[in-house]
Amino acid sequence: MQAQIFPGLSLSALPPDTPPVRTEWRDQLRAHLLRLGPQTRLNRFLGASSDATVAGYAARAAPAVLIEARVGGQLCGMAELHVRPGPRPVGEIALSVEDVWQRQGIGAALFDRAVLEARRRGVGDIWIFYLRSNLAIRKISERAGFTRIEDADPAMASAHLGRPAAGEAEAAWNGAPPDSRD
């Protein structure tokens, strides 16, 4: 059963490369990521990351779609859908919810919307990579139908939705956008 969605939550999807191209989203992404608490930041970036690393990520990230979660106009979470184009496009979702807004269904709502946006773009294979200790994203992704895949790194896990193929996680991301696993 999906977590209950926070009342007043609105989600909006921005395709950053669609004209007119705007850049404010980078400032919003940077500010959002810098507001994350230490544990949330650790889980978002799959390891310790300095403010400079986080800001650099926001400056270089090239998501196909950025989804904002707002309550009463206030930004409380963001999801990025990165897509490696090709005859068989591959997607990766990365998301975060600011600490005071967690455990209210916002993460699950963002994740489900990112999957929907991937499907709208014909993305058949969707991945998420996370620390094995991250129970929240494990729950969210498995409820969305993703299959968990053990990683060679004992600290890491990934989950996949789409056309499953054993041992394909690394191959699928070989040559993927370099910023997507920063």
Q: Which residues bind ligand COA (CB under 6 A)?
A: 3, 40, 43-44, 94-97, 102-108, 130, 134-137, 139-140
Minimum distance from residue 139 beta carbon to ligand COA (Å): 4
Q: Residue 59: count other Cβ atoms within 10 Å of its Cβ.
A: 12
CB-nearer residue toward ligand COA: 18 or 62: 62
Pair type for strands 65-71 and 74-84: antiparallel
Nearer Cβ to ligand COA (87/116): 116
Of 114 and 162, which CB lies nearer to ligand COA in the complex structure?
Answer: 114
Distance of CA 47 to the CA centre of its chain: 15
Write down the least CB distance from residue 54 to ligand COA, Å: 12
Give the shortest CB-81-to-ligand COA separation in angstroms.
12
CB 96, CB 40: distance < 8 Å? yes
Contacts of 48 (CB under 8 A, 6+ apart): 42
Residue nearest to ligand COA (CB): 107
Sign of the four-CA dihedral 104, 123, 65, 131: positive
User: At closest approach, how far in Å is the CB of 30 from ligand COA?
Assistant: 16
Question: How many residues does the structure list for the chain?
Answer: 182
